[in-house]
Each structure stands twice: as structure tokens, then as C-alpha cells.
């Protein structure tokens, strides 16, 4: 069993942003040279997400709006709305954390005959939920 | 729109060049999260609709043997990026502090002075120590921001951050423009009293102690002080400030925008008061 890992760091530009990373993942699988196995994509942050959806701007907008509806910016019952001594900052981004938790932080795809198996309409997104910030996601291919 | 209260402390390009800076920011100012590329600061301004930001250093030479970003570093940032308006910081307890201030203002093109009595550990109204510094500010016609109220810096001493000492300063230097950041919270009553009494005392909105900016601004400005007080008495003396990166600028802008106030007051808070104070061309 072989394991290949890559970390990609970049700066997001908006508070909420959908970044298509499908080609990066496919390219990594290709250069990893694995015939069979899995590829994992994972965000290293708690106010971002990794999701799969159809790569359409209207869906990106709808998902963003629905997230705002499900986890509004300011709610009086949020407890994560205070000074965070371990950071030295105000922790006032509970909505971003909740949105991240709703979407999830990783996806996994099979590798078969050297190809990543992915549906025609499936697009892999890195989703920024509290930007702009410097962010990192990990791609790991595992197999033989 | 202008953010009158930001600290360029967690900029990767600065901390990677200077290990001491990174260590001192952590030890003295209490930022423990990872530094971010300068680009993130610029994008934070852009996404928040902020055109320009005052960037504030703190010179803690005698109290902690360090400067939290030097005046030269501030000047380099302002030269490179027009969105930044640089303030100087000097340590009033160092020899020739007034002369150094005058030199840095004139030679580096900095637009004001930042003092943090809680971290620099001096009495605001110490006539021997601080009055020569205020004299230079008045002569050069530059504003001075004097930290008052809660200091989240672990090494800050609150006993130096009580705002009432400013009264003697305002009396002694009637043309000096003084900014009390954070509305002086928890001493917001003393702070607004001073600003109501002296038209050259300004208050910035970077009040952070609990809750989101929307919640805390509603609580302090509307529930405790009353928006009518601000509309009637302090229309021309309130400045928008975020205290970035202690709080993010986006949410701080939304906090002000969520408050019920006249369009005129909102414009004065976000832009007009700062433009006039800094003598900026429109």
C-alpha cells in the first residue's frame, strides 16, 4: 500500500466562497501513479468545508443563502460569542463553525485503473465560510 | 469608509523577518493565532467596504523592551499601500521622546500618535512625562489616540487606562485632538462625559468584551448610552474602529450598520469625522 500526500495553501478572497478544486485532485491522482485505492480530500480548518455538488454558480449561491438561513450570523443563544483567550481574539464566528459542521470537512473518491471515479456532474469544492483567510487543504491518495 | 483602529501585528511578512517581533506580540499583546499574509489584511478591508485603515504600533521600550511594529515598518506599509494611514508610537518614558516623535512624524509622514498607557505603563496626566509629548502633537496638529478601558493584552495594566486623566490633558492643550478608543469601556460614562465636555475628544467604536459587534454595539451605544445622546451630542466625534485583528472588520461594519441611526450619523461615523480629523482629501 502506498500513501501520497500533498498540502495546498492559498488565500481566499471572500467571506463565503466556493472554490472548484476538482482538477487539482484529479491531477494529484494522476501523478501519484496509483492503479487502485482511494483519494481523500480534507480541509485543515473548522470554518471551511469540502463538499461535492454540481458545479453551477446558481447552486453555489443557493447553498450559501440556505446556510445563512440555517446558521444566521447573530443569534442571542450562541455561546461562542466571547473573547477567546487561547487566540487573543474575539470568537464571534459561531455561524461559520456551524455552517462548516453542516457541510463537512472531507470527501473521498475511489481510484480504479489509475482513474479517479467521479460523476460527470460532480465538482469538488473547497468552501470558505469565514474569509478572507489563508487556508490549507490536504489531498492524500492511498492504494497500490 | 475608514477603520480608525487596526493593528498590523499578525502580518506574516513582518513576523517571518523578525522572530523577536513574533515572540513579543505573543508575550506582550497576547495574539496566539497564526500570522496571516498581508494580502489577507488587504482583502479583509476590501470585503468590508473599508477604503482606508489607520494602522497602530505600540512602543513598549521601557516596560517590555520591545516595539510592537516600529514606526519605520509602519511607514514602509503606508508608502507601499495607499489604503493604510500610519500612526507613530513613542515611549514617553524614553529620553528625547518628544524629539523622536517630531522627527518620525516629519520624516516618515505619519499622521498621528498612538499611546497605550496600560502597556507602556505611565499616567496619562503625568505632566513631566507626557505633557511634552502632547505639546508636540498640538504643535504639529496631529491627533493622539490614548488607549482607555479594557486592555486584552495580558501585560496591560488597567490602572493606567482610566480615562479621567484625559481631562487635565484636554484643559492644558485645548487644540489637541484626542481619541479615546473602545468608548473607554467599561468606563464609557466617563469617556462620553469627556467627549461631551470637550469637542476635540473623539471616541472610536471598537468596543469588544462579549458578543458579536452587532450585539455589543447595540448594548453599549443604544441600550446603555442611548442613540439620541450620540445623535445630539457626539455626531461629529465618533469614529468607526474595529480593533482588527482582535475582532474582524466585516462583522464590525455590520455591527454599525445594524444600529438604528440617522444616515448623517452613520456617514460621520464611517467616513466624515475621520476624514476631517486626518485632514484627508475627498
pLDDT tens-digit map of B95-129: 999 999 999 999 999 999 999 999 999 999 999 99
- Between A74, A82, A89, which is nearest B214 by CB? A74
What does the pLDDT average to over B128-157? 97
How many beta-carbon pairs under 8 angstroms link A with B? 69
**Domains of chain A from N-terminus onward:** 2-143 (2.60.120.460)
Give how far B15 is from chain A: nearest CA, Å: 15
Sequential pLDDT tens for chain A (144 residues): 999 999 999 999 999 999 999 999 999 999 999 999 999 999 999 999 999 999 999 999 999 999 999 999 999 999 999 999 999 999 999 999 999 999 999 999 999 999 999 999 999 999 999 999 999 999 999 999
Contact between residue B4 and residue B56 where contact means Cβ atoms under 8 Å apart: no
Q: What is the pLDDT of residues B37-73, one digit of tens each?
A: 999 999 999 999 999 999 999 999 999 999 999 999 9
A11: chain B residues, CB-CB within 8 Å: 37, 39-40, 43
CA distance B60 to chain A (A): 19
The overall average pLDDT reported for chain B is 97
State mean pLDDT over B4-32: 95
* Reported confidence tier of residue B241, pLDDT bands at 50, 70, 90: very high
Q: Are strands A122-128 and A17-20 parallel, antiparallel or unpaired?
A: antiparallel
HEC profile of B98-129? HHHHHHHHHHHCCCCEEECHHHHCCCCCCCCC
Q: Which residues of A touch B31 (CB under 8 A)?
A: 87-89
For chain A, say whether B49 makes contact (Cβ under 8 Å).
no
Contact B47 A86 (CB under 8 A): no
C-alpha–C-alpha distance, residues A5 and A27, integer Å: 13
Q: Are residues A11 and B31, on separate chains, in Cβ contact within 8 Å?
A: no
Answer whether A134 sits within 8 Å of B29, measured CB to CB. Answer: no
The answer to whether residues B146 and B180 touch, using CB atoms and an 8 Å cutoff, is: yes
Question: With helix as H, strand as E and coil as C, how does B138-197 read?
Answer: HHHCCCEEECCCCCCCCCCCHHHCCHHHHHHHHHHCCCCCEEEHHHHCCCHHHHHHHHHH
Question: Mutation test of the interface with chain A: which of B208, B223, B251, B253, choosing the one with the most A Cβ atoms within 10 A?
Answer: B251
Do B36 and A131 lie within an 8 Å CB cutoff? no
Mean pLDDT for B243-260 is: 97
Alpha-carbon distance B31 to nearest alpha carbon in chain A (angstroms) = 5
Pick among A12, A80, A88 to test the B interface (most B CBs inside 10 A): A88
Alpha-carbon distance of B98 to B129, in angstroms, equals 10
What pLDDT is recorded for position B50? 98
pLDDT tier for residue B281 given thresholds of 50, 70 and 90: confident
**Which residues of chain B lie closer than 8 angstroms to A15, CB-CB?**
47, 250
Under DSSP, is residue B21 helix (H, G, I), strand (E, B) or coil? helix
pLDDT surpassing 70 at residue B226? yes
Percentage of chain B exceeding pLDDT 90: 98
The pLDDT value given to residue B282: 65
Q: pTM of the prediction? A: 0.95
Beta strands in B8-140 (DSSP E): 52-55, 58-60, 66-68, 84-86, 113-115
Tell me, yes or no, if A76 comes closer than 8 A to chain B by beta carbon: yes
Closest CA to A110 of A143, A86, A75: A143
Q: Which residues of B touch A47 (CB under 8 A)?
A: none
How much is the pLDDT for A47? 98
Residue B35, classed as helix, strand or coil, is: coil
H or E element at residue B14: helix B12-15
Q: What's the ipTM?
A: 0.94
Average pLDDT over residues B71-91: 98
pLDDT digits (tens, 9 = 90+) for A91-122: 999 999 999 999 999 999 999 999 999 999 99
Looking at the complex, does the CB of residue B29 fall below 8 Å from at least one CB of chain A? yes
B121: left (phi over 0), alpha (psi -120 to 50) or beta: left
The minimum CA-CA distance between B154 and chain A, rounded to whole Å, is: 9
Give how far A10 is from chain B: nearest CA, Å: 10
Q: What is the mean pLDDT of residues B25-41?
A: 96
Amino acid at each position: 500500500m502506498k500513501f501520497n500526500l500533498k498540502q495546498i495553501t492559498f488565500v481566499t478572497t471572500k467571506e463565503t466562497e466556493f472554490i472548484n478544486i476538482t482538477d487539482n485532485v484529479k491531477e494529484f491522482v494522476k501523478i501519484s501513479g496509483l492503479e487502485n485505492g482511494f483519494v481523500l480530500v480534507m480541509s485543515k480548518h473548522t470554518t471551511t468545508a469540502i463538499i461535492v455538488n454540481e458545479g453551477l454558480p446558481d447552486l453555489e449561491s443557493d447553498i450559501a443563502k440556505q446556510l445563512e438561513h440555517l446558521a444566521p450570523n447573530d443569534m442571542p443563544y450562541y455561546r461562542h460569542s466571547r473573547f477567546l483567550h487561547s487566540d487573543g481574539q474575539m470568537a464571534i464566528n459561531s455561524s461559520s463553525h456551524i455552517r462548516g459542521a453542516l457541510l463537512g470537512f472531507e470527501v473521498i473518491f475511489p481510484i480504479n485503473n489509475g482513474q479517479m471515479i467521479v460523476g460527470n456532474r460532480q465538482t469538488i469544492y473547497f468552501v470558505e465560510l469565514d474569509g478572507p483567510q489563508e487556508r490549507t487543504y490536504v489531498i492524500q491518495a492511498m492504494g497500490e | 469608509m475608514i477603520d480608525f483602529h487596526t493593528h498590523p501585528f499578525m502580518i506574516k511578512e513582518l513576523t517571518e523577518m523578525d522572530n523577536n517581533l513574533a515572540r513579543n506580540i505573543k508575550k506582550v499583546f497576547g495574539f496566539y493565532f497564526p500570522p496571516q499574509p498581508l494580502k489577507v489584511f488587504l482583502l479583509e478591508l476590501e470585503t468590508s467596504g473599508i477604503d482606508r485603515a489607520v494602522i497602530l504600533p505600540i512602543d513598549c521600550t521601557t516596560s517590555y523592551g520591545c516595539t510592537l511594529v516600529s514606526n519605520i515598518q509602519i511607514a514602509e506599509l503606508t508608502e507601499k499601500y495607499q489604503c493604510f494611514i500610519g500612526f507613530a508610537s513613542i515611549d514617553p518614558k524614553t529620553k528625547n521622546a518628544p524629539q523622536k516623535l517630531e522627527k518620525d512624524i516629519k520624516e516618515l509622514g505619519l499622521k498621528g500618535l498612538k499611546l497605550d498607557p496600560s502597556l507602556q505603563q505611565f499616567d496619562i496626566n503625568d505632566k513631566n512625562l507626557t505633557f511634552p509629548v502632547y505639546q508636540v502633537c498640538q504643535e504639529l496638529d496631529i491627533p493622539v489616540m490614548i488607549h482607555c478601558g479594557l486592555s486584552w493584552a495580558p501585560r496591560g495594566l488597567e490602572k493606567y487606562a482610566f480615562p479621567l486623566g484625559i481631562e487635565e490633558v484636554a484643559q492644558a492643550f485645548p487644540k489637541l485632538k484626542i481619541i479615546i478608543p473602545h468608548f473607554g469601556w467599561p468606563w464609557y460614562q466617563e469617556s462620553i462625559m469627556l467627549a461631551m465636555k470637550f469637542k476635540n475628544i473623539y471616541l472610536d467604536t471598537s468596543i469588544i468584551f462579549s458578543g458579536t459587534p452587532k450585539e455589543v454595539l447595540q448594548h453599549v451605544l443604544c441600550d446603555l448610552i442611548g442613540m439620541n445622546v450620540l445623535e445630539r451630542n457626539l455626531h461629529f466625534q465618533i469614529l468607526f474602529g474595529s480593533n482588527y485583528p482582535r475582532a474582524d472588520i466585516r462583522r464590525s461594519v455590520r455591527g454599525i450598520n445594524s444600529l438604528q441611526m440617522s444616515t448623517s450619523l452613520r456617514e460621520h461615523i464611517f467616513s466624515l469625522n475621520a476624514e476631517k480629523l486626518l485632514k484627508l482629501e475627498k
